[in-house]
Amino acid sequence: DAKTTQPPSMDCAEGRAANLPCNHSTISGNEYVYWYRQIHSQGPQYIIHGLKNNETNEMASLIITEDRKSSTLILPHATLRDTAVYYCIVRVVSYGQNFVFGPGTRLSVLP
């Protein structure tokens, strides 16, 4: 699976959009981009995933660049409850394989 690079930490004002970047310059054509987050002392929570096209759900939007070498997770109106560690993971669809978690980005939403 391709390696990802994320900033270790970010701050965001409550009510503003939080834009979390992820670089995956070695991504291959059959690898998806997944985003999870982990709120303190809880298990990771699935947010969104995509292959080529931008994706949106009730939690967030995922913007993938045309060359697929980077992506951005957007939380449109961050709340204090969005404070968490956000993990960007790229991987092929492989039903017997686990997810490999890097250090992620610690997002702090400030009042």
* Least CB distance to another protein at residue 65 (A): 22
32 is a site residue for another protein (CB under 8 A): yes
45 is a site residue for another protein (CB under 8 A): yes
Q: Of 4-12, 13-21, 32-40, 63-71, which segment contacts another protein by CB under 8 A?
A: 32-40
Strand-pair partners of 46: 36
CB closer to another protein out of 42 and 67:
42
21 is a site residue for another protein (CB under 8 A): no
* Least CB distance to another protein at residue 70 (A): 21
* Least CB distance to another protein at residue 16 (A): 26
* Least CB distance to another protein at residue 21 (A): 18
Residue 14 · residue 63 · CB < 8 Å: no
Report the alpha-carbon distance of residue 62 to residue 77 in Å, rounded: 14
Q: Which residues would be at the binding site for another protein (CB under 8 A)?
A: 32, 34, 36, 41-46, 49, 87, 91, 93-96, 98-104
